[in-house]
Amino acid sequence: MSLVEQWNGVEKALDPRWEHAVLSLSVADESRRSRAAALLAPAGPGRHGGALRFHAERAGGGVGPEAIRRMLKRLDDEGIDGTLELVSSTESPAPEEAERSSLADAWDAALAALPADWSDLLCEIDLTSSDHLDPVALRLAPINPLRRPGRPGYRFRAARAAGYGASTGMVRRCLERLDEDGVPGEVRVIEAMSDSHHVGTQGPVWYVAGKAV
């Protein structure tokens, strides 16, 4: 296998985030080792036992992967055989995971977008996994959550002053508990009613998929 092919294999096996690699080239013919070192000079080769060690840099001021490929091709063209191995590599730090938005803060933002005279809300909380359904139901118990068909999540109602629905403060406290538990999700208002008057009722009724909620 040519040295270029060996480098292609080494490069392919590197972590996608690699930044720096230390390579070792064992030259089969000891008499050609000095010539190999001369052809690899830009990569700073040094002798390590019977092998040449040199460096590759994916970015920055060092010798990049294409330059390594060109140098090794010169060795191949001159018939210098050897074995190329990866000694070590370093990777760039993994990008920090985007900070998960707070459910409680999302609730505050949803309320801030409502008209000043809102009175009743139908809301949903989306969950990323059905594994969270049971613990979330426990945390949301004070606001009477209803399982939502299809995707994992719950519906609940909120009322501003009176009627059937949790207070905004109670909703926020329940969502804070989910934040404390590290539960990922999304909360939103899906229906809102303004200035409703409850005459002999507990408030408006919404119908979702033919069912009253």
pLDDT tens-digit readout, 107-126: 999 999 988 889 889 999 99
CA–CA separation, 103 and 87 (whole Å): 47
User: Residue 133: how many CB atoms within 10 A of its CB?
Assistant: 15
Given this model, what pLDDT does residue 203 score?
63
What integer best gives the mean pLDDT of the chain?
86
Q: Domain 103-195 belongs to what architecture?
A: 2-Layer Sandwich (3.30)
Assigned CATH for 3-91: 3.30.70
Contact call for residues 151 and 186 (beta carbons, < 8 A): no
pLDDT at 102 over 80: yes
Q: What is the mean pLDDT of residues 154-164?
A: 86
> For residue 121, which of 173, 152, 164 has the smallest C-alpha distance?
164
Note the pLDDT tens digit of each residue in 37-82: 999 999 989 888 889 999 998 876 678 999 999 999 999 999 999 9
Note the pLDDT tens digit of each residue in 133-153: 999 999 999 999 999 877 899
Helix (H) / strand (E) containing 146? strand 146-147
- What is the β-pairing status of strands 185-194 and 46-48? unpaired
Given this model, what pLDDT does residue 94 score?
56
Residue whose entry in the numeric block shows the structure tokens 């359904």: 133
DSSP string covering 40-92? TGGG--EEETTEEEEEEESSSSS--HHHHHHHHHHHHHTT--EEEEEEEEEEP
Cα Rg of the chain, angstroms? 32
Positions of CATH 3.30.70 in the chain: 3-91, 103-195
